[in-house]
């Protein structure tokens, strides 16, 4: 990945001496419509560290270096066809102060309490943004991770909190982006069921949360029989990148096919694009953005 000159000295000084600069940057940021005339959306995701998720492939602390992560994010956001970012307050505010969020769609991550590997992982409390702070920041919506394990009592608390978040966001006219999974513990670790049947079930549950679905979007994994999944909803849907374990060519091919399905509006991808095997963030992002910008229905 080529070096990118970012003023981290200024970033640290603003954080230490002028914390009010964050609110000022929110007020002065240039905003845009969420969907442009293409009706498509290409987003990068970076809310992983707040849940203790730092690994990429065989590197257990790949995302631990904040300066490296920010450099990768700014590189991705600078590429043509990249519409915006999903993140927690610490990351979004760093990007704000670096000037990287001008004319970008911003989705704020809301529940990061279910720390990876913890005994309370599925009691995924809302410990980050709430609807009011998202609105105050001038962002476009909030994202919730909603894992459903029928054997874990934490699930019902997460469902209830997600429903309240959907209502609060809708009241303010903000997107409620739900990322649902049917999950279970295997040898003490939470595993997501990525069968089409399980994803369809999660879609049904997530779509019914809250008193209105007017502003609800879905963030769904790409799985076999993806046409069955998309037949289960009329809600706008973005595809998530998943764990970056496959060869990039396989991943891109899978995305391309899924992007052609009705209701799919684009991609929201994190580690797969930010940490490609060859280190070429710009190249990986450009390929993904090209797939998103192909008119729906024209893919093979």
Residue 141 lies in a domain: yes
Domains of the chain: total: 1
* pLDDT for position 295: 57
Kindly state whether residue 298 falls inside one of the protein's structural domains: no
Beta strand 141-148 with 105-109: parallel, antiparallel or unpaired? parallel
**Is residue 221 within 8 Å of residue 178, measured between CB atoms?**
no
**Closest of 118, 176, 193, 170 to residue 142, by C-alpha:** 176
What does the DSSP 8-state code read for residue 130? Answer: -
Domain membership of residue 2 (yes or no) is no
Determine contact, residues 147/114, Cβ cutoff 8 Å. Answer: yes
Question: For 10-14, 161-165, 182-186, 240-244, which range has the lowest pLDDT when averaged over its residues?
Answer: 240-244
Under 8 Å between Cβ of 45 and 270 = yes
Residue 184 lies in a domain: yes
Mean pLDDT of 246-250: 83
DSSP single-letter state for residue 261: S
Length of the chain, please?
300
Q: Does any domain span residue 181? A: yes
* Residue whose C-alpha is closest to residue 40's, from 297, 300, 296: 296
The predicted model gives 85-95 an average pLDDT of 98
Best CA proximity match to 198, nearest among 234, 172, 232: 232
- Band (pLDDT 50/70/90 cuts) for residue 248 is confident
13-42 burial string, b = 16+ CB within 10 Å, else e?
ebeeeeeebbeebbeebeeeebeeebebbb
pLDDT classification of 300: cutoffs 50, 70, 90: very low
What are the φ/ψ torsions at residue 76 (nearest 5 degrees)? -60, -45
- pLDDT, one tens digit per residue, over 254-283 is 999 999 999 999 999 999 999 999 999 999
Give the domain extent around 49.
8-293
Residue 277 neighbours by CB under 8 Å, 6+ apart:
57, 248
Q: Establish if 265 belongs to a structural domain.
A: yes
Residue 39 within a domain: yes
Q: Which pLDDT band, with edges at 50, 70 and 90, does 299 fall under?
A: very low
Residue 299 domain-assigned (yes or no): no
CATH number of the domain that 211 lies in?
3.20.20.70
């Amino acid at each position: 990945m080529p070096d990118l000159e970012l003023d981290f000295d200024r970033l640290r000084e603003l954080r230490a001496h002028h914390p009010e600069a964050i609110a000022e940057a929110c007020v002065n940021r240039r905003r845009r419509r969420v969907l442009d005339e293409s009706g498509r959306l290409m987003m990068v995701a970076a809310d992983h560290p707040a849940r203790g998720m730092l690994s990429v492939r065989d590197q257990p602390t790949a995302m631990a270096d904040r300066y490296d992560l920010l450099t990768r994010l700014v590189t991705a956001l600078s590429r043509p066809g990249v519409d915006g970012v999903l993140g927690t307050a610490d990351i979004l505010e760093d990007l704000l102060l670096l000037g990287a969020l001008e004319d970008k769609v911003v989705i704020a991550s809301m529940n990061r309490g279910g720390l990876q590997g913890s005994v309370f992982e599925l009691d995924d409390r809302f410990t980050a943004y709430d609807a009011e702070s998202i609105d105050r920041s001038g962002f476009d919506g909030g994202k919730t991770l909603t894992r459903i394990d029928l054997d874990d009592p934490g699930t019902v608390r997460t469902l209830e909190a997600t429903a309240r978040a959907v209502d609060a966001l809708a009241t303010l006219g903000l997107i409620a982006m739900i990322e649902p999974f049917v999950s279970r513990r295997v040898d003490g670790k939470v595993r997501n069921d990525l069968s089409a049947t399980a994803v369809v079930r999660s879609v049904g549950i997530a779509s019914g949360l809250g008193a209105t679905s007017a502003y609800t979007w879905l963030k769904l994994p790409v799985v076999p029989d993806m046409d069955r999944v998309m037949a289960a909803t009329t809600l706008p849907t973005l595809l998530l990148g998943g764990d970056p374990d496959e060869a990039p060519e396989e991943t891109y091919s899978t995305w391309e096919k899924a992007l052609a399905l009705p209701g799919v509006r684009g991609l929201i991808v994190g580690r797969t694009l930010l940490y490609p095997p060859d280190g070429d963030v710009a190249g990986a992002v450009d390929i993904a953005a090209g797939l998103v910008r192909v008119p729906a229905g024209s893919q093979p």
